[in-house]
A and B are shown apart, each in its own frame.
Chain A
Amino acid sequence: MKRLSGLQTYAILYLVFLYVPVLLLPLFSFNDGTIVAFPIKGWTLEWYRQLAGEATLLNSLVNSLIVGSVAALLSTSMGLFAARAFVRYQFTGKRFSEGIVMLPLVVPGIIVASSMLVLFISVGLRPSLTAVILGHTLLALPFSVSILKSAFDDFDISLEEAAFDLGSGVWETFRRVTLPIVVPGIVSSILVTFTVSFDEFVLAFFLSGNDPTLPVYIWSQIRFPAKLPNTLALGSLLLLASVLLLVVAELFRRRSSNKLV
């Protein structure tokens, strides 16, 4: 084997640092013991089996699915229009509104969470799944806009012009030319924004009230050492779901931009 350069060795060590913590959860979720420590006592699927009987868990899973789906649809539809505007048109205030849309990425989570709680209470919206949906839509928007911007970026305007010249109306052109080309971008945006919502904790912790989402449920379980193996099993399933969703999203995104990276 070829000798590795210093930089290559460093890069590989860095990858180990990135992956080891994440892979520990699935590893110990199969461990036949309640303490997370080496050596592994034996292998079991018991912890996974026990998950199926947890009613509150299943309830919070349903909550997360609802919140994630609605937030994904809301943020992707707003993102679709905005991305189209940012890529296609030159207009005054464009840079300003592009900046505004990216804001949720840089405001500390605790500040978004506390200020939204205060806002919602002031307008009479109690902590609820609706409140979480509104919050997650906000957090997911920057992701949706960036993905869809890159989908529109590679879109050749002359295709639309050709459709207009051939007699198609605005709506027909959008439906038969624009939409099919950006569909992979839309799918990618829906999957990514769903995952952003599905994994989000702090905002849901502040806003979910008596209807916990999955991460809020996990948070409540982390405190009980006896529940640890179940939490690990649940966490591993969540990791798997997130990674699968995002790999599929990435494949779609690549198809939409027809290029690598």
Chain B
Amino acid sequence: MNLRSETAKGTALSAPATLYVGLLVAAPLIILIAYSLWTQTYVDLDRTPTLANYREALTDPLVRHLMIRSILISAAVTVVTVALAYPIAYFIALKAKKKTLWLLLITIPFWSSYLLRVFAWKLILGFNGVMNSALLALGLIDEPLTFLLYNEFAVVLTLAHAWAPFAILPIFVSIQKIDPSLLEAATDLGSNKLESFLRVTLPLTTQGIIAACLIIFIPTVGDYVTPSLVGGSDGKMIANLIQVQFGAANNWPLGATLSLLAMLSVGFVAIVFVIGASTLGRRIR
């Protein structure tokens, strides 16, 4: 089969999917940009282009506060999730006898509704919730703990649980790819277990770690369900503010502006992180 017909066939067959995603991601973005330049005047849209929304968003301390908090919460979630997941990925890839079974066990809980998993944490951490009632019944505490629910801690914990497999799988794949002879060579050359982990395994899995971080960081910045259910007022994130603009506040132009700014901030942090982490990975090696 010659190359030209391969290109033609490949392009034609993949076109529906590519165009569908391309259109439904690109077209809304363009319209979102348009909206961000318009203004809402009560019930009408004023279509005169202006940067007023950006000015409002960038000078509003609430917006800045929520944006920074969202990024910090997501960064914390990323660190916690990846740190907890790495040993599991390592265990499954190199130590476990039944890899398939372990991978299945890790993924099954995440085949359930995200909304319900987050909701479950609300029930666990609540004032009259599962955790408090269990601790009271066991006599470990005298009165319910109040610091469990409705704060950043609850959001980080819930998200770290919800995104666990997304950290485990990419790291597992990258550990799986390491040539065992490299580890043997390290041992033969006198490295102890810790040294060969730090100087062989860890640097070679940098790509997996970076992938895991991005897969968790990017979507969690815009998470709506978790901050709404377990965040309380201290755990609100940027997505809550965006939803209000599209809902109760009925200020779509401002909502569009906030969406775009959130996307830009996430993209910026992600790019800086990738460059930083790759450089670090190379230097260790």
Q: Mark A24-40, 1 if CB is under 8 A from B, else 0.
A: 11001000000111110
Contact with B along A1-34 (1 / 0, CB 8 A): 0000101101100110111011011001000000
Contact between chains at B137 and A110 (CB < 8 Å): no
Number of A-B contacts (CB under 8 A): 244
Complex alpha-carbon distance, A88 and B246, angstroms: 44
The smallest beta-carbon distance between A169 and chain B, in angstroms, is 16
Q: How far is the CA of A222 from the CA of B115 in the complex (A)?
A: 10
A185 to B218, CA, bound (A): 29
Q: Is the CB of A100 within 8 A of B214?
A: no
Segment of B8-16, B60-68, B147-155, B180-188 in the binding face: B8-16
Give per-residue flags for A149-163: 1 if the beta carbon is below 8 A from chain B beta carbons, else 0. Answer: 000000000000000
Main secondary structure of the interface of B (DSSP, over half): helix
Residue B209 lies at the interface, judged by CB distance under 8 Å to chain A: no
Q: Are B91 and A11 touching (Cβ within 8 A)? A: yes
Query: B17, A24: Cβ atoms under 8 Å?
Result: no
B116 touches A37 (CB 8 A): no
CB <8 Å contact, A14 and B88: yes
B91, B161, B222: which contacts A17 (Cβ < 8 A)? B161
Beyond A38-B133, A84-B13, A115-B31, whether A89 also contacts B239 by CB under 8 A is no
The answer to whether A43 has its CB under 8 Å from any CB of chain B is no
Minimal beta-carbon separation of B236 from chain A (angstroms):
13
Contact status A114-B9, CB under 8 Å: no
CB atoms of A78 and B17 under 8 A apart: yes
Given A14-B88, A19-B109, A78-B20; A119-B161 close (CB under 8 Å)? no
Q: Does B141 contact A (CB under 8 A)?
A: no
Q: Among residues 223 to 261 in chain A, which have CB atoms less than 8 Å away from a CB atom of chain B?
A: 231, 235, 238-239, 242-243, 246-247, 250, 260-261
Report the nearest A residue to B135, measured CB to CB: A38
Q: How large is the interface on B (under 10, 10 to 19, 20 to 34, 35 or more residues)?
A: 35 or more
| Chain B residues whose CB sits within 8 angstroms of the CB of A116 once the complex forms | 24, 28
Q: Is B48 an interface residue (CB 8 A)?
A: no
A112 CB to closest chain B CB, in angstroms? 8
**A7-B91, A14-B88, A25-B120 given as contacts; is B222 within 8 A of A110 (CB)?**
yes
Contacts of A261 in B (CB 8 A): 99-100, 103
Residues from chain B with Cβ under 8 Å of A106 in the complex: 214-215, 218-219
Which residues of chain B in 109-126 are interfacial with respect to chain A, using CB atoms and an 8 Å cutoff?
109, 111-117, 119-121, 123-124, 126
With A22-B120, A106-B215 given, can you name 15 additional A-B contacts, CB distance below 8 Å?
Answer: A18-B164, A19-B109, A21-B120, A36-B129, A37-B132, A91-B8, A101-B17, A110-B223, A110-B224, A119-B24, A119-B27, A199-B112, A206-B246, A242-B111, A243-B112
Q: List 12 A-B contacts (CB under 8 A).
A: A7-B91, A18-B161, A25-B116, A25-B120, A38-B133, A82-B18, A85-B12, A101-B18, A110-B243, A118-B256, A138-B20, A250-B104
